[in-house]
Amino acid sequence: MLHLIWTCIIGLIAGAVAKLVMPGKDPGGWIITMVLGIAGSFLGTWIGRALGFYKEGHSAGFIMSVVGAVILLGIYHLYKRFTA
């Protein structure tokens, strides 16, 4: 249970840093920011494993989680630009 709470806290911080780094209007409140950070961690882990930074069973660190969240925000901004 504590692991889940810790994951949510780190996700919230990583999502907030990604929103600060990425310019433009970003969606949602603190829950969306938390989901963005957690999803960024999954994306960062996948990219890190594909590039050979992480072995099987290891997850992304904080910086790679922020990188993943920034990539997701960039995809969101591209999507909003083409649909609006």
> pLDDT of 4-45, one tens digit each?
888 888 889 999 999 999 887 877 788 888 999 999 988 988
More confident residue, 59 or 12: 12
Return the DSSP state at 58. -
In the chain, the percentage of residues whose pLDDT exceeds 90 is 32
Q: How many domains does the chain have?
A: 1
- Confidence at residue 84, expressed as pLDDT on a 0 to 100 scale: 67
Question: What is the residue-averaged pLDDT of the chain?
Answer: 87
Q: Are 44 and 53 in contact (CB under 8 A)?
A: no
What's the pLDDT band for 70 if we cut at 50, 70, 90?
A: very high
- Give the C-alpha separation, 84 to 70, whole Å: 21
Question: Which residue stretches of the chain are H helix?
Answer: 2-21, 30-51, 62-83
Structure tokens given for 73: 């925000």
What's the pLDDT band for 69 if we cut at 50, 70, 90?
A: very high
Alpha carbon distances (Å) from 50 to 13, 35, 58, 68 = 25, 23, 12, 13
Provide the residue range defining the domain that includes 30. Answer: 2-83
Q: Provide the terminal-to-terminal Cα distance of the chain, rounded to the nearest Å.
A: 41
